[in-house]
Amino acid sequence: MQSPESIDDVQQLLGQTGYVCGRSLATVVFLSLRLGRPLFLEGEAGVGKTEIARALSAALGRTLIRLQCYEGLDAASAVCDWNFAAQMIAIRTAEASGGADRDALQKELFGPDFLIERPLLKAMRPDDAGPPVLLIDELDRTDEPFEAFLLEALSDFQVTVPEIGTIKAPEPPIVILTSNRTREVHDALKRRCLYHWVDYPTFDREIEILQSRAPEAAETLSRQIVAFVQALRTEDLFKKPGVAETIDWAKCLLALDVVDLSPEVISDTLGAILKYQDDIAKIQGSEAARLLQEARQTAVA
Ligand SMILES: Nc1ncnc2c1ncn2[C@@H]1O[C@H](COP(=O)(O)OP(=O)(O)OP(=O)(O)O)[C@@H](O)[C@H]1O
Ligand SMILES: [Mg+2]
């Protein structure tokens, strides 16, 4: 599938996969595809950052390669590793069969048969479907040395493996980086990317997302759910509910055959939208009833 020709195209293509994409997000996605620049997405938890990479790969028919970041992530886990166990067996077999050619053996041991490719190397390989989508998820969880390492990979779209040499992508992959901003990512890396802050959706957009992800929910209930979650986000909470929680909650309510929100139902199901006991304790009871009243007014407006 060819890259989209316009911003509208991006919205439509992503829409076909069920991803509801606002104009400003669609614009940076379009530019990132057009200019071949990595896209750096920051935002609160559960607002659809990771999902955009999935939606893009599905919409464009490209392979999705995901590098999940974590503290201590190093090049061996990100680029490639050697299969030590298989190498040992090959050495033992060569020894047993009586002194094989040492140079040939060494070459073989560090050849493709013993190489375990990790996401960054995979993303540099040619793909029949076209350049893959490389998702570098939750970058803020890694440390600065890894960021510096990434800088090289994303500047030239190449990685260097000491035993093999440099592997350069024939065509740059589509790179999406996400961060929850638990720490600031270095400017040098940001400078190589297009940046977009993914915010909580507006009321209308969140209704659209809910219709796409939980189409079984009736309109009245959907509006109440979204209005309540949006009201909840204005509260001073330790962890505000994301879009993921809205969808989860709708599915819970549907499973309970709820057609209309009530303070009791909300209290019983708060665990689907709030994940900290302090937040739950704060909202349960009279605060939930007050927010529901507010939400009912928004829902019918
Ligand atoms: N605009 C959207 N259109 C359709 N679905 C969406 C949208 N935004 C979020 N979702 C849904 O919300 C869920 C959470 O999205 P996702 O996992 O991408 O969030 P995230 O921003 O990566 O969160 P985290 O920071 O916790 O990783 C997904 O299941 C996705 O389907
Ligand atoms: Mg995510």
Q: How confident is the model at residue 103 (pLDDT cuts 50, 70, 90)?
A: confident
CB atoms closer than 10 angstroms to residue 261: 21
**Band of residue 98 on the pLDDT scale cut at 50, 70, 90:** confident
Of 225-229, 232-236, 282-286, the poorest mean pLDDT is in 282-286
Q: Are 61 and 1 in contact (CB under 8 A)?
A: yes
Check if the beta carbon of residue 20 is closer than 8 Å to that of residue 59: no
| DSSP state at residue 4 | P
CA of 224 from ligand 2 middle (Å) equals 26
- Please tell me the distance between residue 244's alpha carbon and the centre of ligand 1 in angstroms: 6
Confidence of residue 1 (pLDDT cuts 50, 70, 90): low
Query: Residue 2 pLDDT > 80, yes or no?
Result: no
111: pLDDT strictly greater than 70: yes
Hey, is 166 helix, strand or coil?
strand
Closest CA to 109 of 95, 92, 91: 91
C-alpha 209 – ligand 1 centre gap (Å): 10
**Nearest atom in ligand 1 to 246's CA:** 12
Q: How confident is the model at residue 158, as a pLDDT?
A: 94
188: Cα separation from own chain's centroid: 22
pLDDT tens readout for residues 155-205: 999 999 888 899 999 999 999 999 999 999 999 999 999 999 999 999 999
Q: Please state the rounded mean pLDDT for residues 209-225.
A: 96
Nearest CA to ligand 1 atom 5: 19
Q: Does 100 score more than 80 pLDDT?
A: no
* Contact (CB, 8 A) for 110 and 163: yes
Q: What is the mean pLDDT of residues 107-122?
A: 93
Instruction: Find the 177 Cα to ligand 2 centroid distance in Å.
Output: 10
Q: What is the pLDDT of residue 41?
A: 98
Whole-angstrom distance, CA of residue 232 vs CA of residue 226: 10
What strand order describes the sheet that includes 133-137? 64-68, 133-137, 174-179, 39-43, 194-198
Tell me: pLDDT of 99 over 70.
Answer: no
What are the pLDDT digits (tens) for 46-97? 999 999 999 999 999 999 999 999 999 998 899 999 999 999 999 999 888 8
Cα–Cα distances in angstroms (integers) from residue 181 to residues 101, 153, 261, in the given order: 53, 22, 34
Spatial CA neighbour of 247 closest among 281, 195, 201, 300: 201
Quick one: average pLDDT of 137-162?
91
pLDDT in tens, 258-270: 999 999 999 999 9
Is the predicted pLDDT of residue 107 greater than 90, yes or no? no
Residue nearest atom 12 in ligand 1 by C-alpha distance: 244
Q: Which helix (H) or strand (E) holds 68?
A: strand 64-68
Closest CA to 118 of 152, 81, 85, 154: 81
Point out the ligand 1 atom lying closest to the alpha carbon of residue 198: 21
CA pair distance 11, 7, nearest whole angstrom: 6
- pLDDT at residue 18, rounded to an integer: 96
- Say how many Å lie between the CA of residue 110 and the centre of ligand 1: 40
- On the CB side of 65, CA atoms within 13 Å amount to 22
Ligand 1 residue neighbourhood (C-beta within 6 Å): 18-20, 43, 45-51, 178, 180, 209, 212-213, 243-244, 247
Which of 67, 177, 243, 249 should be mutated for ligand 1, with most atoms under 8 A from CB?
243
